[in-house]
C-alpha cells in the first residue's frame, strides 16, 4: 500500500492516505489496534474515488505504519493524532466515520472541533470502553496486576496476538469519557450496529443513542452482522448512509 507520512512538531510520524475530491470530506477513524488497510477503510476510499469526494484514512501512533509503540499509546494520544491530522490535511466540514474505538475517537474530535463537523457515523462505536468494558470486566487479580505491574494481557480473536492493556490506557481513558457529560451533536448522526456483535454488543449502541442529544440521530441495528461489519450487505448500508447524510 502506498501512503504518505506527516511528521508533527513533536516528532510523531502519522502515516496517512488521502484521496482528493469535493467536500464535505470523509475521514475514517479505525479501531483499537487496527490500521488503515482494513476492509472498511479501503471500501470508503473506493466509494470516495467513485463519487469524487475527498477522503482521509490514517494510522494512529503505534498502529500500522505510523511511528511509536502500541503499548505506549492511550485514548488521549490517539484523539490528538486524529485532531492534528484532520487539522493539517483537510479543509472545511468533514463526515467522521468511526469504527469501534474510532467511534469514541470521533466523538472526542467532534467535541474538540465542532465547527469542522458535517456528520458522524459510528460503526459499532465503543465510547468509554476502557472503563465500561475493560476495567469493569477485570477480576481482582487482573486489576491488581494492572496497578502493580502496569499491564495485563487480554486474548484477541483477531489473530494478532494478545492485547497488552496498560495502566496508562485505563487511567488516561478516564480523562476522556464521553458518556458522563452532555453529548450534543448538531449534525446528522447514524449509529450502525450488528446484532451479532459480541465485542461491542448492541446495548452499547443503545446507551450511546439514548445519551446523545441532537435533532437528527438514528440507530440502525443489522440482524446477524458481527463486529467486523464488513460483509457486502454491511458495506452497502455504509455507502447508503453516507449518501443519505448528504441529502
Please give the average pLDDT of every successive group of 10 residues along the chain, which has 247 residues: 89 95 95 94 96 97 95 97 97 97 98 97 98 95 94 77 90 98 96 96 98 97 94 96 84
Please name the residues in contact with 126: beta carbons below 8 A apart, sequence gap of 6 or more. 31, 32, 100, 101, 103, 104, 133, 200, 204
Return the number of other C-beta atoms located less than 10 Å from residue 172's C-beta: 18
Shortest CA distance to 124 belongs to which of 238, 2, 9? Answer: 238
Q: Taking the C-alpha atoms of 118, 205, 108 and 78 in order, what is their torsion angle to the nearest 10 degrees?
A: -110
- List the domains of the chain with CATH numbers: 4-128+177-246 (3.40.50.1820)
Distances, alpha carbon 162 to alpha carbons 154, 184, 228, in Å: 5, 36, 18
Q: What is the pLDDT of residue 45?
A: 96
Q: What is the pLDDT of residue 159?
A: 59
Which pTM value belongs to this model? 0.95
Between helix 101-112 and helix 75-89 the angle, nearest 10°, is: 60
Q: What is the pLDDT of residue 160?
A: 65
- Contact present, 222 and 195 (Cβ < 8 Å): yes
Amino acid at each position: 500500500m502506498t501512503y504518505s507520512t506527516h511528521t508533527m512538531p513533536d516528532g510523531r510520524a502519522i502515516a496517512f492516505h488521502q484521496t482528493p475530491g469535493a467536500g464535505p470530506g470523509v475521514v475514517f477513524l479505525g479501531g483499537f489496534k487496527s490500521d488503515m488497510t482494513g476492509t472498511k477503510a479501503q471500501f470508503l476510499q473506493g466509494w470516495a474515488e467513485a463519487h469524487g469526494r475527498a477522503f482521509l484514512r490514517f494510522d494512529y501512533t503505534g498502529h500500522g505504519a505510523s511511528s511509536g509503540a502500541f503499548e505506549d499509546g492511550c485514548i488521549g494520544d490517539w484523539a490528538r493524532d486524529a485532531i492534528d491530522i484532520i487539522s493539517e490535511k483537510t479543509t472545511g466540514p468533514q463526515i467522521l466515520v468511526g469504527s469501534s474505538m474510532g467511534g469514541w475517537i470521533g466523538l472526542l474530535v467532534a467535541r474538540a472541533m465542532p465547527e469542522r463537523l458535517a456528520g458522524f457515523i459510528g460503526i459499532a462505536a465503543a465510547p468509554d470502553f476502557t472503563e465500561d468494558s475493560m476495567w469493569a470486566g477485570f477480576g481482582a487479580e487482573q486489576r491488581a496486576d494492572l496497578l502493580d505491574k502496569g499491564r495485563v494481557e487480554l486474548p484477541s480473536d483477531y489473530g494478532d496476538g494478545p492485547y497488552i492493556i496498560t495502566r496508562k490506557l485505563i487511567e488516561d481513558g478516564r480523562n476522556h469519557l464521553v458518556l458522563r457529560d452532555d453529548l450534543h451533536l448538531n449534525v446528522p448522526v447514524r449509529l450502525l450496529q450488528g446484532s451479532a456483535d459480541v465485542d461491542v454488543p448492541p446495548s452499547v449502541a443503545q446507551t450511546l443513542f439514548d445519551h446523545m442529544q441532537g435533532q437528527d440521530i438514528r440507530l440502525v441495528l443489522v440482524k446477524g452482522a458481527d463486529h467486523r461489519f464488513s460483509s457486502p450487505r454491511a458495506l452497502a448500508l455504509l455507502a447508503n448512509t453516507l449518501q443519505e447524510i448528504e441529502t
